[in-house]
Chains A and B, each alone.
Chain A
Amino acid sequence: MAAKNVVVYSTPTCPYCIQVKEYLKSKNIPFTDYNVASDIEARNAMVQKSGQLGVPVIEIDGQIVVGFNRNKLDELLS
């Protein structure tokens, strides 16, 4: 099975962002992390893709998950 392309848009202080990243690490899933507090380009991309001004936003092979929703992440990662 090809590895999924996983992107996390986060801020350093957001606890749910920390939890999402810890969760992915615990499952040995590699991901790209964009700090949207400082990376304005990534912030704009996140807002455009998700229609949201809130973190975390997770993108799995083009599918968007807003917030740390374990069940949804498991579904898209399986």
Chain B
Amino acid sequence: MQNKSEWELIIIGAGPAGMTAAIYAGRKQLDTLVITKDVGGQALWSYKIENYPCFTFITGAQLVERFQEHLQNFGVRIEYTSVVRLSREAETFAVDTEDSRRFFAHSVIISSGKSPRQLNVPGEMEFLGKGVAYCATCDAPLFAGKNVAVIGGGNSGLDAAAQLIKICPKVYIIEIQDDLQADKVIQDNVSRADNVEVLTSTEVKEIRGDNFVRSIVVRNVQSGKVDELQVEGVFIEIGLVPNSDFVRDLLPLNERGEIPVDCSTCTGIPGLYAAGDVTDVPHKQIICAAGDGAKAALSAYSYLVRRPSPSPNDK
């Protein structure tokens, strides 16, 4: 059992889509393995969820715990690692993981979600966890008393800034466009604070420091003027990218890197389904991801029971 490498169904990722798919697959008694780096996906990062039915208010962490409890009832096995490649191998799918293991399945559901977009500037990776952060909900309190910069003037950037203005002497908001992109109501709340300085039409060129971040180099994209801001924290909030690199050789992706699916979550390859934020569905919501996860598991079930041979149960 421990070293079993062949499964009827492998689910990649355990956010709301993957966990719901696993619950449905567990109930259908499919021989299922979930491969994921962590449990909860982006849902975990939401501090306040007020639109998931049955909960007038719940935190992301609490909602994920409920999903997990529900999933544990079905005894579905989870391997905690990242998938680096998904490929076709004769009649099955091969899943390669970052710890150099290989798993096989007759059907696969991709529910790998999205990750924070990186700036791709010098110093970003070097100072990750040493002043560079992507999760303000996690790390903002550690920057109390320090000057910080938030990169990105969208809703998530301004949400991060709203947490930081309460505890930091100075908060820069850096936006590459001419205007902040966040909703007006959030903008008004943040820009009213006297410790906020908004720099629009500004790009980040470099993050500098010693053992920790000490400054960032910024450039005004209109005037070309370069400046160095003394900050010890850099919160990067410039959107999300789909975790679809591992499938690039197998499936066509859209211009955003998302996996196109039809209304039954089919990818176009028989036996291969995708659900949640990694797909091209228009609304990236927890409830939609959960619903698509259910559809994907039911589609996989229909596929597996109709496979001519060998029967899914004859291993």
Q: How far is the CA of A34 from the CA of B210 in the complex (A)?
A: 27
Q: Which of B47, B144, B212, B233 contacts A13 (CB 8 A)?
A: B47
Q: How many residues of B contact A (CB 8 A)?
A: 29
Decide: A15 and B142 in contact? CB cutoff 8 A. no
B44 within 8 A of A: yes
Set of chain B residues within 8 Å of A70, measured between Cβ atoms: 80
Q: Which residues of A contact B135 (CB under 8 A)?
A: 14
A18 to B61, Cβ gap below 8 A? yes
Are A51's CB and B80's CB within 8 A?
A: no
Q: Mark A1-43, 1 if CB is under 8 A from B, else 0.
A: 0000000000101111111001000000000000011100001
Residue among A19, A22, A54 making CB contact with B142, cutoff 8 Å: A54
Q: Is the CB of B142 within 8 A of A53?
A: yes
Residues A15 and B129 in contact in the complex (CB < 8 Å), given A37-B142, A43-B142, A55-B142: no
Cα distance A43–B143 when bound, in Å?
Answer: 10
- Residue of A11, A18, A53, A68 most packed against chain B (CB within 10 A): A53
- B131 partner residues in chain A, CB cutoff 8 A: 53
| Shortest distance between the CB of A42 and any CB in chain B (Å) | 11
* A66 in contact with B129 (CB, 8 Å): yes
Query: Would B141 and A37 count as touching, CB distance under 8 A?
Result: yes
Is the CB of B133 closer than 8 A to any CB of chain A?
yes
Nearest opposing residue in chain B for A14, CB measure: B138
- With contacts A15-B45, A36-B141 taken as known, whether A51 is within 8 angstroms of B61 at the C-beta atoms is no
Tell me how far the C-beta of B73 lies from the nearest C-beta in chain A, rounded to whole angstroms: 14
What DSSP secondary structure best describes chain B's contact surface?
mixed
Q: How far, in Å, is A29 (CB) from chain B's closest CB? A: 17
B39 and A19 contact, CB distance less than 8 A? yes
Could you give, for residues 163-197 of chain B, a 1 whenever the CB lies within 8 Å of some chain A CB and a 0 otherwise? 00000000000000000000000000000000000
B85 at the interface (CB under 8 A from A): no
Which of A13, A16, A18 touches B141 (beta carbons < 8 Å)?
Answer: A13
Minimum CB–CB distance for B12 against chain A, Å = 17
> Are B138 and A22 closer than 8 Å at their CB atoms?
no
Are the C-beta atoms of B80 and A15 separated by less than 8 Å? Answer: no
Given A53-B131, A54-B133, the answer on whether A15 and B61 have CB atoms closer than 8 Å is yes
CB-CB < 8 A to A11: which residues of B?
Answer: 138-142
With an 8 A cutoff between CB atoms, is A71 at the interface?
Answer: yes
Contact string against A for B residues 41-79, beta-carbon threshold 8 Å, 1 for contact and 0 otherwise: 000110100000000000111001100000000000000
- Tell me if A15 and B139 are in contact (CB < 8 A): no
Q: Are B129 and A14 in contact (CB under 8 A)?
A: no
Task: Looking at the assembled complex, report how far the CB atom of B39 sits from the nearest CB atom of chain A, in whole angstroms.
Answer: 7
The 10 residue pairs across chains A and B that have the minimum distance between CB atoms = A37-B141, A14-B138, A15-B61, A54-B129, A15-B44, A18-B61, A52-B129, A11-B141, A70-B80, A13-B137
**Which residues from chain A sit less than 8 Å from chain B, CB to CB?**
11, 13-19, 22, 36-38, 43, 51-55, 66, 68, 70-71
- 24 of the cross-chain contacts (CB-CB < 8 Å) are A11-B141, A13-B140, A15-B44, A15-B61, A15-B138, A16-B38, A16-B44, A19-B40, A19-B44, A19-B61, A22-B65, A36-B142, A38-B141, A51-B130, A53-B129, A53-B130, A53-B139, A53-B142, A53-B143, A54-B138, A54-B142, A68-B38, A70-B80, A71-B80
Q: A14-B135, A54-B129, A54-B142 are known contacts; what are 12 more A-B pairs with Cβ within 8 Å?
A: A11-B140, A13-B138, A13-B140, A13-B141, A15-B60, A16-B38, A17-B138, A19-B61, A19-B64, A52-B130, A55-B142, A70-B80
Residues of B within 8 A of A (CB): 38-40, 44-45, 47, 59-61, 64-65, 80-81, 129-131, 133, 135, 137-144, 211-212, 233
